[in-house]
Amino acid sequence: MLAKEIFRKILHILAFAGLIAWLYALDDWRHSVLIAACAIPVICPCLLLLSKIPGITEVFVARRRGEFAYSFFAYAMAYIVTSTVLWGFLGKRELVVASFFAWAPGDAAAALIGKTFGEHKIGILKKKSAEGSGAMAFFSFVAVLCVLTYFNLYSSFWTIVISLITAICTTVAELLDEKGLDTFFCPVTAMVVLSLFELILR
């Protein structure tokens, strides 16, 4: 079970790395967002067709048929929304990086630690654990802190405050999601927090 979860998270990390690379592939946010939007009706049907190949779901450890098509759609929509708001309207491409870092490392930690050590079940359907959510909050905080520090966007005090609040809100979003759409809701939740602080501290 743990080996399968590790493999799933490796796929997520590869997708995450590709997204960050795409974020810096173009200099105009409108072109970046437009191409991402055009990719959805092309790639999603291909992934759905691929999922119909016998055994492919088991090979790629998908939880249900068509999972990767739905995940790509959620991922692309999260990119479109966060890039439009943070990069397009606020002019802070770095905050798009922070919004996805608020989700990806924490999500991986939540899954791996939760499945290994998760004994205290929480959440609406009691499928998640306090241990996993704690790992999510910690790794999300560290990841956002590192991104904001690297780009030197705010003072040390506000960097810590923003990272902490972003991590808490993202963890709550992940905890409340029971349909596997944290790929969308977590980065967008982080976007809301980061955009509010950016507007306040300008």
| pLDDT tens profile 63-122 | 566 677 888 899 899 999 999 999 999 999 999 999 999 998 888 887 778 777 767 677
Quote the strand ranges of 67-142, DSSP E. 121-122, 128-129
Q: What is the pLDDT of residue 12?
A: 75
Q: What is the pLDDT of residue 168?
A: 96
C-alpha to C-alpha distance for 137 and 107, rounded to whole angstroms: 9
What does residue 24 show for φ and ψ, rounded to 5 degrees? -105, 10
Q: What is the pLDDT of residue 77?
A: 95
Q: What is the DSSP letter of 91?
A: -
C-alpha to C-alpha distance for 194 and 187, rounded to whole angstroms: 10
Tokens at 161, concatenated: 């405050």
Question: Residue 176 is which amino acid?
Answer: L
Q: Average pLDDT in the 125-152 region?
A: 90
Tokens at 56, concatenated: 């492919």
Provide the whole-model pTM. 0.88
Q: What is the pLDDT of residue 16?
A: 83
C-alpha to C-alpha distance for 145 and 24, rounded to whole angstroms: 20
Q: What is the pLDDT of residue 166?
A: 97
Q: What is the pLDDT of residue 91?
A: 96
> What average pLDDT does the chain have?
86
- The three-state secondary structure class of 28 is coil
Quickly state the pLDDT bin for 143 (edges 50, 70, 90). Answer: very high
Which of 116 and 34 is assigned the larger pLDDT? 34
